[in-house]
Every structure is written in structure tokens, then in C-alpha cells.
Chain A
Amino acid sequence: MSASLATARADFPALHQEINGNPLVFLDSAASAQQPRSVIDTVAHYQQADHANVHRGVHTLSHRATEAYEGARDRIQAFINAASRSEIVLTSGTTESVNLVAQSFCRSKISARDKILVTQLEHHSNFVPWQLVCEQTGAQLVVSPITDNGELDLDALQANMTDDVVLLAVGHVSNALGTINPLKKIIGWAKERDITVFVDGAQGVPHTSIDVQELGCDFYAFSGHKMFGPTGTGVLYGREALLEDMPPWQGGGDMILEVRLDGTVFNELPYKFEAGTPNISGVIGLGAAVDYLQAIGMDKVAAHEKELLAYLTSSLAAIEGIRLVGTAANKASVQSFMLDDIHPHDLGTILDHQGVAIRTGHHCAMPVMEHFGLPGTARASLGLYNNHDDVDRLVAAVEKARQVFA
């Protein structure tokens, strides 16, 4: 397919509408990104012409559905440069991917003597599943702190990598603050100490090219809907040797080779972890989203967003009464902020009234908000389709909010 950054905005039908009488400005892609026409059409075509269950029938439709579904897995493998398609487990999203690793990898492996290390920068979905498995096993959850500009305290993180840490769970990019963590450095430290590394890449994949082999992480998880694909789709990349050793985490159809009255032989990778009929149409749509991103080029996306984020941040900073939350040196796509003493929800309503969609609240990252002593923030987040006009409209809408509350 062909697609280009310069004309990308025209590819997204949802962006071309009015909200409350004003052209929509969509600055909430970190919560969920809009879908290009190619994804919408691919899903619609599948539903209209190719739908059947996968891996089951000998008939033509089942074959077509299986080809399209497995074809998406191959595209995803190439997109993140995994060594094998066996390493691409398709899930319902990042959240399921985290829970899978917590319950399958950790629960079978850890005891009360062990520790799981996370950071205060994490989204709840890279926090609560580890909390749960620690409660189940008696292991200790260690939370590594952040600094006042919203970066990981790397000295503390290194110090927290003790011999009894079994797994480190860390995000690639903070959803609340946009901080890009220095993954290669962190993974290097962890590997020196034999610590397994799980990376929550939900906010990384839509904004930068990923090479899991170069990163050297053990697991990398992400969601389809944050990368312009359908909701209810996600990926768990796991190193093959680790996945082979892990027990299944859900039982059901498709994850078995043979079921007898006295036991079951599990299917090979990656199907061992894919019980039940999967989200076939969603995954096929996710494959189309990967095609779209590859046609545009992730390096171009990253360069465009870097320039636009700098413009967003400087434009917001110039508004009287603005406090930027999250000022890390290396950031992607997100700027959180407060305006005077206006509660973020009030700001969100006033902006929506002018057609500007942002996220307000704790962004499923209450430990981050706790660090800053805030109940929540207003957050503008960028996707590849945003431009300078969007930022200018945001600034005008924020100025208007100051007038309403003056």
C-alpha cells in the first residue's frame, strides 16, 4: 500500500467532523488512536466476505480467515523484528499481555523470597497485575521512584536491581508524562544481574520503530488500538525459550494438541497461549494498521512527532497560568499540564465545547499523580495525523478556559 505523512490526515475519516460546532481537534491518541480508512475497510471486507473460525475448518472461508489472521502475525513479527513468529502471542491488549506474564511466567516461578521490581512511572496495567501475583505468592513488590521532572531515578533503579529480583517491569514511554525511558541502558543493567525484563510498549510502538532483538528485552507488550488498529487486540512478544518453559495461562480450544480424559497435551507456540476463538477481525485490522505504519515509515512518524511535541510544549508553556507536568529531557507525544487552579475536568469540558478532545484525570497512573501531589492533569497527546493547527486550536481553547474561570 502507499501512504504518506504529508497526506495522512486525509486517511482518517473520524478526524473530519465537527464537535459542538467546531472542527474536531483530536489530541487524545494516547488513550486510543483513530483508525485509517485502510484498517476500517480491511475489517469491513473481512466481515462481509471472509469470516469463519480460524484453524478449524477445511472449507474455503475458514482457510481465508486463517490466512489473513496468521498473515497479520507475520506482519507484526516483521514490524518489531522478532526472531520467530512463535514469539508473537496475540492477546486482547497490553493489559492481557501483562497478566499473562504475571500469572504464567511469575506465578510458577516465584516464592516469598523473591522480588518483582516496577517503577512509579507505570500505567496501572503494568502495576496491578504484579501487585496481584505478589499477593498470591508472598513475593515482594519493589517500586522504584521517579524524579520531579518525571524521569526514572536511574541510580535508585540500579540499586533496586538486587539478586532477589526475578523480573523488572518497566514502560517504554510513560502514558501520563511522555517520558521515554532509556531502555537499552536499563535492560543492560538487568541482564548483568540475570533479571528478566518485561517492557510495556503500549505508548512506544505508535511513535517509534521497535526492534525487540536490538533492545534485548525478554517480553514486550503493546495494544492494537493505540497504533491505529482495532480495540481488543494486542501483542505479547516473548523470547521463545521463555515462552516454551511457561505453563499455559488459560485453557480452552485452540491451545491443545490432544485432550484425553486423564490430561491434555498443549499446542505449540504461540497457540499454547491463545485459548478460544480469537478476535479474528480485530487482528486482521491490526495487520492493516501495521501495513499503514510501515508504508509511512516509523522514522518519519518519530521525526514529525518530535518537532510537533516541541511546538506543543513551548506553545503551552507560553500561556499564563500553565504548569507543565512531566518535563523529562527525552519525551514522546505527550504533554500533561495544569491551568491555574482549574480542575482538569472543568478544563476538559471547556475544551470539548470548542471541539478540542484531550484526556483529563489520573490517566490510569495514580502513583504518578501521587508523586506530583495532583488528583489528575490535563493531557494533550499526539498521533501521526496531528499538526501545528491542532496545537494552535488547543492554545486558543485553553485561553478561553482562563476567561470562563477569570
Chain B
Amino acid sequence: MSAATKMTTDELRELYRDLILDHAKAPRHFGKLEHTTHSAQGINPLCGDKLSLYLDIDSDGNIRDAAFEGSGCAISVASASLLTDTVIGLSTAAAEKTFADVTAQIAGQADDAVDLGKLHALEGVREFPARVKCATLAWHALHAAIQQQNTAASTE
């Protein structure tokens, strides 16, 4: 293997950025909501990661509140935590757009013009194909919840 393809500690730090570790160790909006209008489960059958996403969406289609619970690796928990932080206050249309942008970014197909703010922290996963599903699990649950598919969203 050439030196050019040798992975470095920097790449590992790209995946496990301080922001990711912070959200993994102290997830925001962890638990249930008092009032849930939409919810979905995210299940990764490969590794058994499982989370529930709860949304409180008002009659105008704005997300008043969001929370999640479940267990998973640092990447999936941090991603869910960042998600809830991000979508509170967004319209469902804007949240759906963010879902599309984030999943495109993680797949390496992002439009450079899109500014995802702190969600850029998730892009380190691109170099770790085995972990992409961990990063997108909560986002697929968000999409399913908004679509009112109150069934389980799966990464498979």
C-alpha cells in the first residue's frame, strides 16, 4: 500500500471530531417528548443500533420540538443529537431539505453551495464506508416520521 493511501490519526480525528464526541457523550434532547405528533424508529439490523425519534409538529407544519432515545455507537448517537438540535424550529419542508443535504453530504455528493453549519461535523464518516449507516440512521427516521410512516425506518 502506498503512503498516499495510508490512513493517519488525522483521519480518525476527522471522524471522531470534538463536536461528535461531545454530542455522543452528552446527547441533547435525549428522552421522550410530552407531546408527540410524529415518530419513527430507526433500526440498523447489521449492528442492532436502534433509536426512536419523536417530533412535535404544529398545524402549520413547523417542528416545535424533537427528541430521541435509544442506544448506538458514538456516530449514530451524535448524529441523532445534532439532528434534534437542528430541526427544532424548522418547517417540515426545510427539515426534509436538510435530510436530503445531509445524506448527500455523507455520500460525498453534496452541493458545495449548501452550508450545513455544524452538521459538517458528520462529513468525516465519508472515509469510513462501514460507518455511513450509523451517521444516516436518525436522518432516515426523521424522514419516515415526517412522512408519517410510523413504522420502522431501516438502513437496509
A21 to B6, CA, bound (A): 4
Q: Which residues of A contact B16 (CB under 8 A)?
A: 346, 350, 404-405
Q: In whole Å, how far is A84's beta carbon from the nearest beta carbon of chain B? A: 41
Q: In the complex, what residue of chain B is closest to A352 when comparing beta carbons?
A: B130
A404 to B12, CA, bound (A): 8
A21 to B8, CA, bound (A): 9
Q: In the complex, what residue of chain A is closest to B3 when comparing beta carbons?
A: A21
Interchain CB contact under 8 A, B48 and A353:
no
Q: Which residues of B contact A211 (CB under 8 A)?
A: none
Which of these, B1, B46, B48, B73, contacts A18 with CB under 8 Å?
B1
Q: Which of B53-107 contact A (CB under 8 A)?
A: 71-75
Using A361-B48, A362-B48, A376-B47 as known contacts, say yes or no to A353 and B6 having CB atoms under 8 A apart: no
A375 to B130, CA, bound (A): 18
Q: In whole Å, how far is A104's beta carbon from the nearest beta carbon of chain B? A: 29
Interchain CB contact under 8 A, B72 and A343:
yes
Which of these, A18, A349, A404, contacts B128 with CB under 8 Å?
A349
Interchain CB contact under 8 A, B130 and A349:
yes
Q: In the complex, what residue of chain B is closest to A406 when comparing beta carbons?
A: B21
A65 to B148, CA, bound (A): 57
Q: In whole Å, how far is A119's beta carbon from the nearest beta carbon of chain B? A: 21
Q: In which size bucket is the chain B interface?
A: 20 to 34
Interchain CB contact under 8 A, A375 and B13:
no
Interchain CB contact under 8 A, A350 and B48:
no
Which of these, B1, B6, B48, B49, contacts A366 with CB under 8 Å?
B48
Q: In whole Å, how far is A289's beta carbon from the nearest beta carbon of chain B? A: 28
Interchain CB contact under 8 A, A345 and B134:
yes
Interchain CB contact under 8 A, A20 and B48:
no
Q: Which residues of B contact A375 (CB under 8 A)?
A: 48-49, 71-72
Contact with B along A340-369 (1 / 0, CB 8 A): 001111100110110000001110001000
Interchain CB contact under 8 A, A404 and B131:
no
Q: Which of A278-301 contact B (CB under 8 A)?
A: none
Contact with B along A16-29 (1 / 0, CB 8 A): 00101100000000
Q: In which size bucket is the chain A interface?
A: 20 to 34
A18 to B15, CA, bound (A): 21
Interchain CB contact under 8 A, A343 and B73:
yes
A343 to B6, CA, bound (A): 25
B114 proximal to A (CB < 8 A) = no
Interchain CB contact under 8 A, A343 and B11:
no
Interchain CB contact under 8 A, B48 and A346:
no
Q: Which residues of B contact A18 (CB under 8 A)?
A: 1
Using A18-B1, A21-B7, A349-B131 as known contacts, say yes or no to A361 and B47 having CB atoms under 8 A apart: yes
Contact with B along A139-175 (1 / 0, CB 8 A): 0000000000000000000000000000000000000
Q: In whole Å, how far is B126's beta carbon from the nearest beta carbon of chain A? A: 13
Q: Which residues of B contact A376 (CB under 8 A)?
A: 47-48
Q: In whole Å, how far is B50's beta carbon from the nearest beta carbon of chain A? A: 8
A135 to B7, CA, bound (A): 50
Q: Which residues of B contact A352 (CB under 8 A)?
A: 130
Contact with A along B4-34 (1 / 0, CB 8 A): 0111000111011000010000000000000
A142 to B49, CA, bound (A): 28
Q: Which of B121-156 contact A (CB under 8 A)?
A: 128, 130-131, 134
Interchain CB contact under 8 A, A349 and B47:
no
A375 to B48, CA, bound (A): 7
Question: Taking each of B5, B21, B47, B131, which has the highest tally of chain A beta carbons within 10 Å of its own beta carbon?
Answer: B47
Q: Which residues of B contact A405 (CB under 8 A)?
A: 16, 21, 74
A375 to B128, CA, bound (A): 22
Q: Which residues of B contact A343 (CB under 8 A)?
A: 72-74
A405 to B22, CA, bound (A): 10
A350 to B8, CA, bound (A): 11
A366 to B7, CA, bound (A): 33
A187 to B49, CA, bound (A): 37
Using A21-B1, A343-B73, A375-B48 as known contacts, say yes or no to A349 and B15 having CB atoms under 8 A apart: yes
A339 to B135, CA, bound (A): 22
Q: Which of A259-309 contact B (CB under 8 A)?
A: none
Can you spell out 20 A-B residue pairs with CB atoms less than 8 angstroms apart?
A20-B7, A21-B3, A21-B5, A342-B74, A343-B74, A344-B73, A346-B73, A346-B74, A346-B75, A349-B15, A349-B131, A350-B16, A353-B12, A360-B47, A366-B48, A375-B48, A375-B71, A376-B48, A404-B12, A404-B16
- A-B complex: 9 closest residue pairs judged by Cβ atoms: A21-B6, A343-B73, A345-B73, A20-B7, A18-B1, A346-B74, A346-B73, A361-B47, A375-B71
